[in-house]
Amino acid sequence: MGTLEGPGGAAAGGRRRWRWWFVVGLNVFFLLAGQTAATLLGRFYYDQGGNSKWMATLVQSAGFPILLFAYIFFPSSSSSSSGGSPGGAAARRPPAALLAAVYLSIGLLVAGDNLMYSYGLLYLPVSTYSLICATQLAFNAVLSRLINSQKFTHLILNSVLLLTFSAALLGVRGGAADDSSSSAIPKGKYALGFILTLGASATYALILSLMQLAFERVIKRATFRVVLEMQIFTSAVAAGASAAGLLGSGEWRSLAGEAAAYGKGEASYAMTLAGTAVAWQVASVGVVGLVFLVSSLFSNVISAVALPLVPIFAVFFFGDPMDGEKVLAMLLAVWGSASYVYQNYLDVQKVKKALNDDPEAPAVAVAVTAPPPPPPPP
């Protein structure tokens, strides 16, 4: 993002930092709003008579065509630096075969992850499901350390432990979660739902770390267009795999009857699926944008911050019980998420101090974590 030189340079640097924070804030909003709406709509789909796990999986990635408008009209020269090298925006494009391999592998992981989340949301009350999903931060902290060389401070360790305890508390309560007032939740499936949701959280953390690795080591460019490409192509692969699963499983034959028997009517059935698809795409843009701008760990902690809030909505919309164990698990999840947020605040303050002490230091975008990508090849 350049260097700061003199009063004019300092003012320009301040504007750049504010612009960076604005873009980060916008992506945070996309993630929080999209994720909350998509989770609640997913539970609503099951509660009103929806039963197709593959359809619930497909809508998590099928909304990607709406991003094509942004991709077409977004200037290819626009950039949102994430601490890359000065020449990052002009880095040579990777070979098409390598990019295809990256998008295909991540897209297939996304499809499998979405399927596990679909089963988890079917087998668990939405409040329990959301709190278990918060463990993705703990998984991501470990994977970011192994894959992305993410630093592991005592605050991040505290966050990992608290989120682990939160999940463990929900795990030991076992079938007690079957007391949800939702008749759509199959009885006796709590353990399976817990395991699948936990597995999905671990897979999601792996996906974020691999995305960050791809940005740093393969793509090596600093434009928001790159973020859109990552989201569009991986979602296209995931949607294709999910559509194949829907056809191969034979669930597509029951969709017409499912829509006709839907509790709120066929129009509501279509609107629920469409709204879920759009909400997941909004959330995904926020996720990938934060991975690109900051790091996979930061993206995941913002996602985890929203998860303890979903149970509050679930109490009002679905009548989920909020007993003492769930309240304690929620408090542990919030505390664990806050620990990482505070660590991120300390990182930003450290870089601000470095900028004040040394005007030639990199701008604040590197503040928050991810190691900068290597310079482009000559």
The answer to whether 58 and 239 are in contact (CB under 8 A) is yes
Residue 364 has pLDDT above 60, yes or no: no
Answer yes or no: is 6 within a domain. Answer: no
Mind listing the pLDDT tens digit for each residue in 208-248?
Answer: 888 888 888 888 875 678 878 888 999 999 999 999 999 99
Task: Tell me whether residue 238 is in a domain.
Answer: yes
Q: Is residue 5 part of a domain?
A: no
Q: What is the pLDDT of residues 2-35, one digit of tens each?
A: 444 455 555 666 677 788 888 888 988 998 889 8
**Cα–Cα distance for residue pair 289/188, rounded to 1 Å:** 39
Give this prediction's pTM.
0.75
Residue 331: pLDDT band by 50, 70, 90 thresholds?
confident
Residue 11 within any structural domain of the chain: no
Considering only residues 278 and 313, tell me which one the structure prediction assigns the higher pLDDT: 278
Q: Which residue has the higher pLDDT, 372 or 30?
A: 30
* C-alpha span between 25 and 29 (Å, rounded): 6
The number of domains in the chain is: 1
pLDDT in tens, 45-60: 998 989 899 999 999 9
Residue 31 resides in a domain: yes
Alpha helices in the chain, H assignment, sequence order: 6-47, 53-58, 67-73, 96-123, 126-133, 136-147, 154-172, 190-213, 224-249, 255-260, 266-293, 296-306, 310-318, 324-357
Task: Confirm whether 310 is domain-assigned.
Answer: yes
Domain that holds residue 172: 19-368
Query: Is residue 10 assigned to a domain?
Result: no
57 alpha carbon, distance to own chain's centre? 15
One DSSP character per residue, 167-218 reads HHHHHHTGGGGGG-S-TTSPTT-HHHHHHHHHHHHHHHHHHHHHHHHIIIII
Mean pLDDT across 94-121: 94
Contact between 309 and 36 under an 8 Å Cβ cutoff? The reply is yes
Q: Is residue 69 domain-resident?
A: yes
